[in-house]
Chains A and B, each alone.
Chain A
Amino acid sequence: MLNAVDKGLLETVADLYKIPSGAFSLRKNGSGLFINSSENVTVKAKEGQPGIDVIVKPGTKNESIHIPVIISQSGIKDMVYNTIEIGEGADVVLVAGCGIHNSGSEASQHDGVHNIIIKKGARLRYIEKHYGEGNGSGGKILNPQTVVEIHEGGIGEFEMVQIGGVDSTHRVTEAKLGKRAKLVIKERLMTHGEQEAFSDIKIELNGEEALADVISRSVAKHTSSQVFRAQVIARSAGRGHVECDSIIMDSAKISSIPEIRAEHPEAELTHEAAIGKISGEQIIKLMSLGLSEEEAVKVVIEGFLR
């Protein structure tokens, strides 16, 4: 069942200290380990394909659903297809996360396609944490693809965090927003060593008064590299804002490519992008409060990525 490594991963990616009582699915080393539905949320294995279906009944409120994936065996290559449907007027939190512990020499990889549908007037807070650990030479690879559809008046709040230890990631997020739908994406990314991260976000504002806000903050250390591309396309009188803010350290490389495209005369789109080193003043201030230089750098980065 769950050993200490598994428990550590679960804690890190899903803030879980034990198996929760509500709607839940745990996938370990490429196969489903636990699955549980609640009265209003059905979680079941997908037919014909690896993965799960999560169906939230219309009007469901105050429920959290956990669907973590952990890989603790070296050399696993896992691929899943998940469908998540939030019924009309529901308001729920979904915690998806993936943790890889690789102490072997073969690459461990988890690729996931999440299809998320937020129905009319529903709200979903989606939290996804990615994390890699283990000192084997095998790579830790995560390639999530998230396709989101938000219907009239629906709200999606997405927090996507890659905390560290993932050697290679190619993240694709696509969203289509209907009338008065709202999507906020908060992305936090940290790369170190020789890691590579690629994030590609594409949001289409199709309905009147749709609103999208993308806030990405990242830190690249050592010789790691990051490419961040965020595209917001307004096909209606929607509003969108893209903000990418990065701290660069050592010999890292960062490309930040925000793109806004308007195809409607009343669209309002803005973007901001900044890449810079840690401010010397901040480090000096923290050192003058008694922190060492290393501690000061850590505080600045942790705050920035919080």
Chain B
Amino acid sequence: MLELNNISIDLNVQNGNGKTRILNNLSFKFEQGKFYCITGPNGGGKTSIAKVIMGIYKPTEGRIFFENEDITEKNITERARLGICYAFQIPPRFKGLRVKDLLKISAAKENMGLRNSLKSVGLCPEEYMDREVDESFSGGEMKRIEIATMLLRNPKVIIYDEPEAGVDLWSFHKLVNVIKQKHEREKAATIVITHQERILALADEIILVSEGQIKQAGTPEAILPGIKKDIECELSGICGGDDYAECCR
């Protein structure tokens, strides 16, 4: 239902020699009702994939199809209205905008349970509704509010960008359950960008992204052992320093 077709993104950079390629000829087909995880090293291109799907980045080359329609030229708003949702890795803060304002904007339909969305992520509505989404919130609170806004959407494709980042252990498990329940209920294509094994294990398919490319894709059974081996190798002290790439690949 969502197809990335030979996507490359070159960004102009201010220093250096002009251009850097952040996604390199990347193709993938996401299917409705499936649960995907994207993982891979920092700077590998995970968030860039989310942004190109949401329309925040325009591909330099390649096309994006959604339900058999070419949406490459559609802007962010149009894609949101088609049912594409994206929970940011680092949600922006707004001076003056209250939690309830943000939730109201997010609600796909009127009278959706704004209060319940907060409760689902473990935030007390009485305490949070009237607060402003500004610098006064902690990092973890921002992430949980971001997930709460997603619960109010009516998605066909929903991307969560490291929902675990900065979230405490208790809330983490709550968030995982909430994401899972929403997926089971609504049967969207769910894409979770994550570094957490507990989430990776839930996937129908794990996509390993590095250097702007998909290095591997497959079931957790197929992908996780390789990742675990890399980690063991790292911990054993055999690799490290300049030998890292040699030893672990």
Quick one: which of B29-87 are within 8 Å of A by CB? 54, 56, 75-77, 79-81, 85-86
Nearest-neighbor residue (CB-CB) of B132 within chain A: A303
Question: Known interface pairs A299-B105, A303-B101. Does A288 touch B76 (Cβ–Cβ under 8 Å)?
Answer: yes
A132 to B210, CA, bound (A): 57
On chain A, the residues within 8 Å of B79 by CB distance are 288
Asked if A47 CB lies within 8 Å of chain B CBs, one says no
Asked if B149 CB lies within 8 Å of chain A CBs, one says yes
A191 to B79, CA, bound (A): 33
| B interface size (C-beta, 8 A) | 25
For residue A297, give the distance in angstroms from its CB to the closest CB of chain B.
12
Asked if A245 CB lies within 8 Å of chain B CBs, one says yes
How many pairs of residues, A versus B, come closer than 8 Å at their CB atoms? 57
A53 to B30, CA, bound (A): 72
On chain B, the residues within 8 Å of A288 by CB distance are 54, 56, 76, 79-80, 85-86
For residue A186, give the distance in angstroms from its CB to the closest CB of chain B.
12
Contact check, A282 vs B92: say whether CB atoms are below 8 A apart.
yes
**Per a CB cutoff under 8 Å, which of B80, B94, B149 touches A287?**
B80
| A interface size (C-beta, 8 A) | 22
Question: Known interface pairs A282-B94, A304-B96. Does A289 touch B149 (Cβ–Cβ under 8 Å)?
Answer: yes
On chain B, the residues within 8 Å of A285 by CB distance are 88, 91-92
Contact check, B95 vs A293: say whether CB atoms are below 8 A apart.
no
For residue A66, give the distance in angstroms from its CB to the closest CB of chain B.
26
Contact check, B75 vs A300: say whether CB atoms are below 8 A apart.
no
Asked if B117 CB lies within 8 Å of chain A CBs, one says no
Asked if A45 CB lies within 8 Å of chain B CBs, one says no
Question: Known interface pairs A284-B56, A284-B76. Does A289 touch B96 (Cβ–Cβ under 8 Å)?
Answer: no
On chain B, the residues within 8 Å of A291 by CB distance are 77, 105
Nearest-neighbor residue (CB-CB) of B81 within chain A: A290
Question: Known interface pairs A284-B56, A299-B105, A303-B101. Does A289 touch B95 (Cβ–Cβ under 8 Å)?
Answer: no
Nearest-neighbor residue (CB-CB) of A304 within chain B: B96
Contact check, A303 vs B95: say whether CB atoms are below 8 A apart.
yes
Name which of A287, A288, A300 has the most chain B CB atoms within 10 A of its CB: A288
Name which of B77, B79, B106, B153 has the most chain A CB atoms within 10 A of its CB: B77
A56 to B117, CA, bound (A): 47
For residue A215, give the distance in angstroms from its CB to the closest CB of chain B.
11
Nearest-neighbor residue (CB-CB) of B149 within chain A: A289
For residue A187, give the distance in angstroms from its CB to the closest CB of chain B.
14
Contact check, A245 vs B95: say whether CB atoms are below 8 A apart.
yes
Asked if A305 CB lies within 8 Å of chain B CBs, one says yes
What are the 7 closest A-B residue pairs judged by CB atoms, nearest first? A303-B97, A303-B96, A281-B92, A287-B76, A290-B80, A306-B96, A304-B96
Q: Which of B's residues lie within 8 Å of A, judged by CB?
A: 54, 56, 75-77, 79-81, 85-86, 88, 91-92, 94-98, 101, 105-106, 108, 132, 149, 153
